[in-house]
Amino acid sequence: MSYQLIYKRYGEFSILIKWKAIVDKDIIRDINTYKTKILKKEERKIQDCIIGYHSLLIVYKEVLCKVAEKISFLKEIYSFEQSVSSKINRVWTIPVCYNLKYGVDLLDISERTKLSVEEIIQLHINTIYTVYFIGFLPGFLYLGGLNRKLFFDRKSTPRLKVPKGAVAIGGKQTGVYPEKSAGGWNIIGNTPLRFFDVTKEVPCFAKSGDEIKFTSISEEEYFKIKGEVKKGLYKIEKKVIVNS
């Protein structure tokens, strides 16, 4: 499937490419495919490619002098039906302790949505989420696919300290705080896993296009996994999927 794209200069070094402004799995797949095509042609000239829900920002190493020509070239790349090697994505299983000790906003969500705490947990773990992109912190995965029953507004006054590993809901999204930080999302649990590790060659295990499945664990299991993670012994459960 091809989309009508909008191209525009974005500063001296970059070109911003925009898709239809909706959150859609087919669009994020198209963005990732296009990114792969561009890097095959121009990897040496590109500093970075930054993916959004419906955008791709291409940052070049040198100032763009002939922007119109560059955009024309990018359009050719998009329309050219070259074969792109099969893209490997993964479904990562993330253990979460939904104990009220960690899910400090569960009771508030329950009261305001008229769902029981157990119903909230079940709705959260019964969905497979798509990783759309990574930000605002290194390793923070923006996940699409949250059940509509769990849509819940962000807090009007953000917390100054959200714990590392907090699993939270913000509006129509869910995600995990990779480090302790300020944040306005509603906390429903905590995972003992590390979502960003600078000691690893690939600091964040997941990438745009991957999928995430949460699974509920007890507090005893939480501390057991946390100990294994600290020792470098825990391997995140994953399923490999190949998209041709």
User: Tens digits of per-residue pLDDT, 74-99?
Assistant: 999 998 765 555 566 799 999 999 99
Which of these ranges, 114-118, 203-207, 218-222, has the smallest mean pLDDT?
Answer: 203-207
Q: What is the pTM of this model?
A: 0.84
As annotated, the residues of the chain forming the CATH 2.40.100.10 domain(s) are 88-243
Confidence class of residue 122 from pLDDT cuts 50, 70 and 90? very high
Residues of the chain with CATH 3.30.1360.40: 6-85
DSSP class of residue 66? Answer: -
Is the CATH number of domain 88-243 2.40.100.10? yes
Model confidence pLDDT, tens digit, residues 169-203: 999 999 999 999 999 999 999 999 999 988 888 88
Q: What is the CATH number of domain 6-85?
A: 3.30.1360.40
